[in-house]
Chain A
Amino acid sequence: MTEISRVAHPTLYGPTTEGGVTLFGLRCRRCAKVGFPRQRYGCENCGAYGDDLLDLDLAPEGELVSFAAVHRHQGRDIQAPFVMAEVRLDSGPLLRCTLAQRDDAGLAIGKRVIGRLVDGTSPDAPRELRFFVAGA
Chain B
Amino acid sequence: MAKRLSDLRPVYVVGIGLHRYQRPSDTPYVALGLAAVRSALADADLEWKAVESVFHANCMLGMAPTRVMLRHLGATGIPMQQVENASASGSTAFRNAVMDVASGISDVSLALGVDKPAPFTLASTKNGLDTLERDRVAAFTHFALLAQTYCAESGATAEDFARVAVKNHGNGAKNPFAQRQQSRTLSEILDAEPVAGFLTPLQCCPVGEGAAAVLVASEDAIRKYGLNRRRAPRVLSSTMRSERIYEPATGFDAALTEEAVTQAFAEAQIKPDELDVVELHDAFTVEELLYVERMGLCARGDAPRELRSGAFDIGGRVAVSASGGLLAMGHPLGPTGIGQIAEITRQLRGEAAGRQHPGAKTGLAHMVGVGAVCVVHILRNED
**Interface on A for B, CB 8 Å cutoff?**
9, 11-12, 37, 39, 41, 44-45, 65-76, 78, 82, 84-86, 88, 93-98, 109, 129
B145 with A70: CB separation less than 8 A: no
Nearest to B133 among chain A residues (CB) is A96
A70 with B136: CB separation less than 8 A: yes
Render B111-136 as a binary contact track against A, CB cut-off 8 A, 1 for contact. Answer: 00000000000000000111111011
The B interface is mostly helix, strand or loop, or mixed, namely: loop
Nearest to A38 among chain B residues (CB) is B129
- Complex CA–CA separation, A41 to B128 (angstroms): 10
Show 30 A/B contacts (Cβ-Cβ < 8 Å), sorted by A.
A12-B132, A37-B131, A39-B129, A65-B149, A65-B250, A66-B146, A67-B145, A67-B197, A68-B145, A68-B147, A68-B197, A69-B194, A70-B136, A70-B144, A70-B195, A71-B194, A71-B196, A73-B136, A75-B135, A78-B135, A84-B145, A84-B196, A86-B145, A96-B131, A96-B132, A96-B137, A97-B133, A98-B136, A109-B149, A109-B152
A68 with B148: CB separation less than 8 A: yes
Nearest to A82 among chain B residues (CB) is B136
Nearest to A11 among chain B residues (CB) is B130
Within 8 Å CB of B129, what residues of A? 11, 37, 39, 41
Write the nearest CB–CB distance from A23 to chain B, whole angstroms.
9
B133 with A69: CB separation less than 8 A: no
Q: How many residues of B contact A (CB 8 A)?
A: 27
Write the nearest CB–CB distance from A60 to chain B, whole angstroms.
10
Nearest to A95 among chain B residues (CB) is B132
Partner among B130, B132, B146, B147 whose Cβ is within 8 Å of the Cβ of A97: B132
B249 proximal to A (CB < 8 A): yes
| Listed residue (B145, B195, B196) with the most chain A CB atoms within 10 angstroms of its CB | B196
B28 proximal to A (CB < 8 A): no
Nearest to B148 among chain A residues (CB) is A66
A66 with B136: CB separation less than 8 A: no
B196 with A98: CB separation less than 8 A: no
B196 with A69: CB separation less than 8 A: yes
B133 with A84: CB separation less than 8 A: yes
- Complex CA–CA separation, A97 to B135 (angstroms): 11
B196 with A70: CB separation less than 8 A: yes
- Complex CA–CA separation, A45 to B243 (angstroms): 12
Q: A66-B250, A88-B248, A94-B249 are in contact. Are A9 and B132 (CB under 8 A)?
A: yes
- Complex CA–CA separation, A97 to B133 (angstroms): 6
B197 with A69: CB separation less than 8 A: yes
| Listed residue (B132, B133, B135, B145) with the most chain A CB atoms within 10 angstroms of its CB | B132
- Would you list the 3 A-B pairs with minimal beta carbon distance, nearest first? A68-B197, A68-B144, A66-B145
Q: A97-B132, A129-B132 are in contact. Are A71 and B137 (CB under 8 A)?
A: no
Q: A65-B250, A71-B194 are in contact. Are A84 and B137 (CB under 8 A)?
A: yes
Partner among B144, B148, B194, B249 whose Cβ is within 8 Å of the Cβ of A109: B148
Within 8 Å CB of B191, what residues of A? none
B245 with A45: CB separation less than 8 A: yes
- Complex CA–CA separation, A97 to B145 (angstroms): 12
Nearest to A129 among chain B residues (CB) is B132
B130 with A37: CB separation less than 8 A: yes
Within 8 Å CB of B138, what residues of A? 70, 73-75
A68 with B130: CB separation less than 8 A: no
**Could you list 14 further interchain pairs (A-B, Cβ under 8 angstroms) beyond the known A9-B132, A66-B145?**
A37-B131, A65-B149, A67-B148, A67-B197, A68-B197, A69-B197, A70-B196, A73-B138, A84-B137, A84-B144, A84-B196, A86-B145, A94-B249, A94-B250
A72 with B195: CB separation less than 8 A: yes
B136 with A75: CB separation less than 8 A: yes
- Complex CA–CA separation, A98 to B132 (angstroms): 9
- Complex CA–CA separation, A14 to B129 (angstroms): 16
Nearest to B201 among chain A residues (CB) is A72
B263 proximal to A (CB < 8 A): no
Write the nearest CB–CB distance from A126 to chain B, whole angstroms.
13
- Complex CA–CA separation, A86 to B195 (angstroms): 18
- Complex CA–CA separation, A32 to B193 (angstroms): 45
| Listed residue (A67, A74, A96) with the most chain B CB atoms within 10 angstroms of its CB | A96
- Complex CA–CA separation, A93 to B193 (angstroms): 33
Write the nearest CB–CB distance from A46 to chain B, whole angstroms.
10
B106 proximal to A (CB < 8 A): no
- Complex CA–CA separation, A76 to B129 (angstroms): 19
A86 with B250: CB separation less than 8 A: yes
**Interface residue ranges of B142-180 to A (CB < 8 Å):** 144-149, 152
Within 8 Å CB of A68, what residues of B? 141, 144-145, 147-148, 196-197
- Complex CA–CA separation, A70 to B250 (angstroms): 20
Q: A66-B146, A109-B148 are in contact. Are A84 and B195 (CB under 8 A)?
A: no
Write the nearest CB–CB distance from B248 to chain A, whole angstroms.
7
